[in-house]
Amino acid sequence: MGIELRENERIDDLQRNGYGIIQKKGAFCFGMDAVLLSGFAAVRPGEEALDLGTGTGIIPILLEAKSEGRHFTGLEIQPEMADMARRSVAYNHLEHKIEIVTGDIKEAGQLFDLASFDVITSNPPYMNDSHGLKNPDLPKAIARHEVLCTLEDVVRAAAVLLKPGGRFYMVHRPHRLIDIISVMRQYRLEPKRMKLVHPFVDREANMVLIESVRGGKPMVKVEAPIIVYKEPGVYTDEIYEIYGY
């Protein structure tokens, strides 16, 4: 099936199942955080998963490649990004497994049946108004800063769409960890697993992966950290394994 590429678009090899993804030069492209989240999240056979703020659809595509989930949905507010995601799904012949919906996370409770997903993932904007310089390019700013949705918007949507006992997986920044845990508990999503990501073994963490369970009992397991590089430009074996090399 031929896939139309628009101006400045390319297809990147995902090194998984022969899959590729459409990305656009100068636009927001997926990073390691999305790949790490796809490795941290667990989708069991027969489960249905939703990715909130899916961008170009990287997480549903990787989760389909890595798991035996029954169906995957991506929700994206930016029409151009959603269109790229749909064309990537078609490029990989995954229309029967992955659906991309254009819509607002704040309206997710009206777009989907309540308590209908086993797993929800999100790689949300990390920065609020008090952190970081806002990118002047709006699509990139939307992806990185809380322009169109906040951390609470994302967690609230996950809470109403997860089945009881369903699991919410998120990648974020460690400096927001207190906010993350507080808002998760506010919406009865109990943190159960957490893993910090360090660029080098002697550097402070720059990402956190966290799993919470709807209605879960209090107890969190802090797992061994992920170290990205063993030396400059050389990934650790764990990173190569997550990427599938």
Q: Is the pLDDT of residue 144 over 80?
A: no
Span 48-64, average pLDDT: 97
The sign of the dihedral angle between the CA atoms of 103, 155, 222, 227 is positive
- Asked if pLDDT for residue 9 goes beyond 60, the answer is yes
Q: What is the 3-state secondary structure (H, E, C) of the chain?
A: CCCCCCCCEEEEECCCCCCEEEEECCCCCCCHHHHHHHHHCCCCCCCEEEEECCCCCHHHHHHHHHCCCCEEEEEECCHHHHHHHHHHHHHCCCCCCEEEEECCHHHHHHHCCCCCEEEEEECCCCECCCCCCCCCCHHHHHHHECCCCCHHHHHHHHHHHEEEEEEEEEEECHHHHHHHHHHHHHCCEEEEEEEEEECCCCCCCCEEEEEEEECCCCCCEECCCEECEEECCEECHHHHHHHCC
Percent of the chain with pLDDT over 90: 80
207 pLDDT higher than 60: yes
Mean pLDDT in residue range 110-137: 77
Q: What is the mean pLDDT of residues 14-37?
A: 90
Please tell me the predicted confidence (pLDDT) of residue 133.
46
pLDDT at 182 over 50: yes
- The pair of structure tokens assigned to 237 is 């074996």
| Domains of the chain from N-terminus onward | 9-167+176-190 (3.40.50.150)
Report, as an integer, the average pLDDT of 150-167.
97
Q: What is the pLDDT of residue 174?
A: 96
pLDDT score at 145: 42
pLDDT tens-digit map of 90-107: 999 999 999 999 999 999
Q: What is the residue-averaged pLDDT of the chain?
A: 91
